[in-house]
Structure 1
Amino acid sequence: MADTSLSAVPALPGRRRGLQVDGEKILLAVLLVYVGLFALTPLALLFAKAFGRGETGEFLGMIREQWQSVAVQRALWNTLKAGALSTLISLVIGTAMALLVGITDIRARSPLVFVLLLPMLIPSQITALAWIEMTGPQSPILLLLGAAPDPGTKNPIYSMAGISAVMGVEHATLVFLTVRAGLRRVPRDLVEASRLAGAGPLRSTVSVVLPLAGPAVLAGAALAFVSSIGNFGVPALLAIPARYPMITTLIYQRLSGFGPDALGSVAALALILSVLAAAGLTVRAFAARRTRMVVEATSAILPRFQLGRWRLPVEAATWVLLVLIAILPLVALVTSSLAPALGVPLNGRTLTLDNYRFALFAEQATRRAFANSLFLAFATAVASGLASVGLAYLAVIRRSRLARIIDLIADAPYVIPGTVLATGVILTFLRPLPFLHASIYGTIWILLAAYFGRFLTLALRPTMAGLEVMEKAVDEAAQVAGAGPMRRLFSIILPMATPAAAAGALLIFMSALNELTVSALLWSTGHETLGVMVFSLQHEGNSPAASALAVAAVLVTIALAGLLALFGRRLPQGIVPWQA
């Protein structure tokens, strides 16, 4: 009888086994260079610059100079106030919507959730522009209601309250998704016990559901706060005209005014944002740990409370709120894009498509911005998708400790404010590159480098989640059969991971297409992006053209989101962020 043990055929498998180790080392090295160059190095150089000596040569002089600056203290206080107020708004809206959708018998949940997700799908600068058009003196909605501000008066949205309100609405979706996920972990039997004890729906919600979902609520609030203090799109369009300085806008203005000469002070400002973000993320991590400790996941969903005679009023109030915060700003944006000029009322005789012709076809800079954004989004999506498959394979299937460390590092450029990353990227690529003796500063390639670091985690999370549910024995069987790591990666892992990686790549494409926070500090003439052009047109006073370009970007974004939602139905739970 033939010996079928592995020891009977040592030669060929032994050689292949040696190739396996080399293949994994090569793959790890490539991923380490990728993440190290685009994620770790910018942040390391940023912190080194921030902790450097100032103009006087004092130890930690750069940080001391910023802390002692009245302008920085004012911007920091404004950032904290606006961040706290916007977080409160996000918390109220997001938690209320999560409870209504998650534990009541409210109808039309799918349309309701879609409308609720609109602020997250639309870039922040376009959201701010939509609110400007809805609340200004020429707002067609306010004019129809007779509530428009008098011509020539200041738009009320240009204020701390307006900034906080827009950011609060935009980030309410983050709280909604976090709390809704937390509600799925609340044990059904505890809720049913409270009902059997005679507690009504409201009392059960207040005394049982909310306390158990409390860590999720806290995690959502921390995420909303971190997003608010790092938001640049809304402050760029609202805080700068309102003369309400915030840390993100102060960084932008210093770099715009002084260029690379301001990198020292900007690095110290970015460090302040990083500390605030780290504090918020620490609270979120603590809350997530508490969520796992307090209750265990249950397969049974919570019973839906019957609203009874209150259902119609609750539904009406919910839809009024959602239309007000999500639909009407977009309607105002569309009507502004159809007006011939700023201040001209829109009617059947004045309606025109000239703004679209100008923004999409006649203006060379906007055409160039479309081409640049499409290239950056596509290249980032492809590169990040491929890198995520390799890294997920090593971290999830091969259980490589180094791969898991690389995975943690890859998260950092996305969770920190974009202005922080952009500052680090400038420090990294300002000088000529080794061997090439050329700098990519002031070219489109520095934008691509920043995007590579910024968006990798958006593809990595879905890909790792997809491989987590994969049967590990498939890879082990191929390894026993003598297949090397590269062969297993391309013939077994890649086909299985492609759907999840493609979903992540599509999410990257949608996010990168309208990106502003990073691009605002890195773009140069001839290398504009869509987000930059919307901001620039509005800043120049050409609101109709800015609105037209924004509407076009919104349509593309919604189309991509619809494609991702359709594609996500075939994927495991959690691959698509807003998947029900």
Structure 2
Amino acid sequence: MNTNLEQSGLHKNGSGTDKAPIRFASRVWLQRIALGLSFITVFLLFAFPILKLIALSFVHKTGTGLGVYFDLLNEARTWKTVESTLIIISGSTLVSLILGIGIAWLIAYSNLSHKVWLHLIVMLSFIIPSYVVTLAWTSFTGVQGPIADFLHLFSSELKPWSMYSYGGIIWVMGIHHYPLVYLLTVGVLRRIPRELEWASRSGGAGKWTTFRTITLPLAMPGIASGGLLAFLASLDNFGIPAFLGIPANITVLSTLIYEQVVGFGPSAFARSSALAVLLGVIAVIGTWIQWLVQRSYRSSETSYEDMKPRFQLGKRKWLWTGIVWLFLAVITFLPLVSMLMYSLKKAYGLPFGWDNTTADHYRFVLWENTKAHHAIGNSFILSFVTLIVCLILGTAFAYYRLRRPTLLVKSMDLVISLPYALPGIVFGLAMIFTWMEPIPGWNPGVYGSMAILFIAYVIRFMTLQVRSSITAFLQVDASSVEAARISGAGWSSVWRKILFPLTIPGVLAGALLVFLSALTELTVSSLLWSSGSETIGVVIFNFEQAGSTNYSTALSCVIVALIMVFMFLLQAVNNWTARRKGGVL
């Protein structure tokens, strides 16, 4: 019966005009199936490891329940670790807020000279890996460093401030994360309508009153967002507390989780899972506080950034410019120079001089040491492959996210962002639990190989490419795409002639960010590496733990040189973008 109807229908419409709706319906169903499979894949790769980690935290030797949590909460060390964690992240966030807001105000509002270079120097503090910043500051403030030599000019009894302390950890974290506060605050300050500030000044309010009653409340959403990022970055940071805290017996949650995992005790995985959940709870509480702060302040931003100075420094311009440059040099360049000097010394304890310098440490880490040599190769291979995968998949998803913003697609976007939002030590732990045995009884051999690092990098850094590509696509005028489609251009022509040329700067900027993040990564790698799959960060960490500071500083200097190259590449991409848009740098 059905066959006859189909045959009669086809016979009646011999021209095949009724096939078009059938083909359209088939295409719609295929798209839905593909979208459903994509969501399942994204869920299994990005969300399932996190859910598995949470589930494992409820597995106790007495059965399933809250036993692990009760055991941890009954231990004095857990509460001491939580206390240390809160002290350090609160203190470092406060340092980041003070520095970030101050420098953002000077760059956004004043007529300081060379603002473009100042911006690059500020961002350099964050782009350099935290473990390299730590080594730079220990070289700068060490007993053989420039600070000690300067103090000895006044008295041989004076000693520099030890970085191996709560204060040292807070300071290094604060100066490493303050660019996050700066970046979000400077944009908000430039979008505040200057008419509101003029009205306040015209009403008789002074500069400080205007700042306190107008500028600060309107900038608070950006300040709160920057403060939250600094808070979460401090909570996530493993390198600084590992390099400075472990030698001083200062334990935070990230280093305690690391100790539990590498210890391989009878309940190490369950305990580390519970600690990871506790770390996540602190992150959620911080996010909730930031939401409350943002909610209590209103926003009156304009749609464009006002780049013109609002505060003239007058005769003090060069004085303030010199102070800012000196401050940034002290917290950024001098520690790096100290680290370079340390890496060139023949041995620890020798004064720096021509007779005591050598390049042997660089030759050792670059050519003679097999692990260091392989680590550099591994990091570049992992970073490049991660870049390619994220560039293709992340850009494709970003385009689909804007073209079809359905609830399912938005949910995929949220799931993709989860691994990067979580502390790295938590995500690394989730990857271990997932890939040791993805299906009960089946071990694919991923854990313990370089493959797990590749999978982890792609999952963790995919959202960086997605966000950058979405921003790039939003800059394209939709009318130009529609005009091309109406004119009969296919999607391949639209991509080749319109989308690709207009979005390539932003897309490449995201790809370089992915590459740089993967190249210098330590937190996730510290849990997932195995013999033969060491990365640059892991080798530097191992050198430092073994007391081979000359080697760790030498390899760190190589990393800084590479980062400087990539910073110039990013700036070149930004300059290219500005020229294409007719903007002014």
TM-score (structure 2 length as normaliser): 0.89
Q: Which residue of structure 1 aligns with residue 287 of structure 2?
A: 281
Whole-Å separation in 2 of the counterparts to 1:160 and 1:88: 14
Give the SS at the match of 1:322. helix
Whole-Å separation in 2 of the counterparts to 1:476 and 1:559: 39
- TM alignment of 1:19-34, pairs within 5 A: 20-21=27-28, 24-25=31-32, 28-29=35-36, 31-34=38-41
Are 2:239 and 1:233 aligned?
Answer: yes
Task: Determine which of 314, 328, 334 is the counterpart of 1:328.
Answer: 334
Q: Which residue of structure 1 aligns with residue 9 of structure 2?
A: none
- TM alignment of 1:79-158, pairs within 5 A: 79-146=85-152, 156-158=162-164
Q: Give 1:305's aligned amino acid.
A: F
Are 2:546 and 1:545 aligned?
Answer: no
Whole-Å separation in 2 of the counterparts to 1:149 and 1:337: 27
The structural deviation recorded for 1:128 is 0.6
Q: Which residue of structure 1 aligns with residue 321 of structure 2?
A: 315
Whole-Å separation in 2 of the counterparts to 1:159 and 1:372: 33
Contact 2:111 2:309 in 1 (8 A): no
Whole-Å separation in 2 of the counterparts to 1:149 and 1:545: 32
Q: Which residue of structure 2 aligns with residue 224 of structure 1?
A: 230
Contact 2:188 2:301 in 1 (8 A): no
Contact 2:151 2:160 in 1 (8 A): no
Q: Which residue of structure 1 aligns with residue 531 of structure 2?
A: 525
Whole-Å separation in 2 of the counterparts to 1:479 and 1:13: 20
> 1:231-283 CA distances to partner (integer Å, 9 max, x unpaired)?
10101100101100110000111111117951111010110111111222333
Q: Give 1:70's aligned amino acid.
A: A
Structure 1, 55-64 or 392-401: larger mean CA deviation: 55-64
Q: How many matched pairs?
A: 567
Q: Which residue of structure 1 aligns with residue 304 of structure 2?
A: 299
Q: Closer, same or farther in 2 for the Cα pair 1:12/1:290, shift >3 Å?
A: farther
Whole-Å separation in 2 of the counterparts to 1:493 and 1:13: 29
Aligned Cα root-mean-square deviation (Å): 3.1
Q: Which residue of structure 2 aligns with residue 4 of structure 1?
A: none
> 1:426-449 CA distances to partner (integer Å, 9 max, x unpaired)?
010011669985221111111111
Q: Closer, same or farther in 2 for the Cα pair 1:152/1:419, shift >3 Å?
A: farther
TM-score (structure 1 length as normaliser): 0.90
Whole-Å separation in 1 of the counterparts to 2:427 and 2:149: 42
> 1:501-539 CA distances to partner (integer Å, 9 max, x unpaired)?
222111010111010010001111111000011111111
Whole-Å separation in 2 of the counterparts to 1:20 and 1:500: 32
Are 2:411 and 1:397 aligned?
Answer: no
Q: Closer, same or farther in 2 for the Cα pair 1:347/1:303, shift >3 Å?
A: closer
> 1:405-455 CA distances to partner (integer Å, 9 max, x unpaired)?
111111111111100000100010011669985221111111111111110
Q: Which residue of structure 2 aligns with residue 41 of structure 1?
A: 48
Q: Give 2:43's aligned amino acid.
A: G
Q: Closer, same or farther in 2 for the Cα pair 1:559/1:181, shift >3 Å?
A: same
> 1:387-417 CA distances to partner (integer Å, 9 max, x unpaired)?
1122112210122322211111111111111
Contact 2:141 2:160 in 1 (8 A): no
> 1:292-320 CA distances to partner (integer Å, 9 max, x unpaired)?
x4214243626521122433332233222
The structural deviation recorded for 1:471 is 3.5
Are 2:253 and 1:247 aligned?
Answer: yes
Q: Give 2:456's aligned amino acid.
A: A
Give the SS at the match of 1:267. helix
Give the SS at the match of 1:105. coil
Whole-Å separation in 2 of the counterparts to 1:16 and 1:500: 37
Structure 2: runs of 5+ lacking an equivalent: 1-14
Task: Determine which of 532, 549, 565 is the counterpart of 1:559.
Answer: 565
Q: Closer, same or farther in 2 for the Cα pair 1:308/1:495, shift >3 Å?
A: closer
Q: Give 1:501's aligned amino acid.
A: V
Contact 2:362 2:555 in 1 (8 A): yes
Q: Which residue of structure 1 aligns with residue 202 of structure 2?
A: 196
Whole-Å separation in 2 of the counterparts to 1:319 and 1:129: 22
Q: Which has the higher contact order (CA 8 A, sep 6+)?
A: 1
Q: Which has the larger radius of gyration?
A: 2
Whole-Å separation in 2 of the counterparts to 1:373 and 1:448: 10
Structure 1, 419-428 or 221-230: larger mean CA deviation: 221-230
The structural deviation recorded for 1:490 is 7.9
Q: Which residue of structure 2 aligns with residue 360 of structure 1?
A: 366
Contact 2:151 2:158 in 1 (8 A): no
Q: Closer, same or farther in 2 for the Cα pair 1:288/1:489, shift >3 Å?
A: farther
Q: Closer, same or farther in 2 for the Cα pair 1:306/1:477, shift >3 Å?
A: closer
Are 2:355 and 1:349 aligned?
Answer: yes
Q: Which residue of structure 1 aligns with residue 176 of structure 2?
A: 170
Q: Give 1:41's aligned amino acid.
A: F
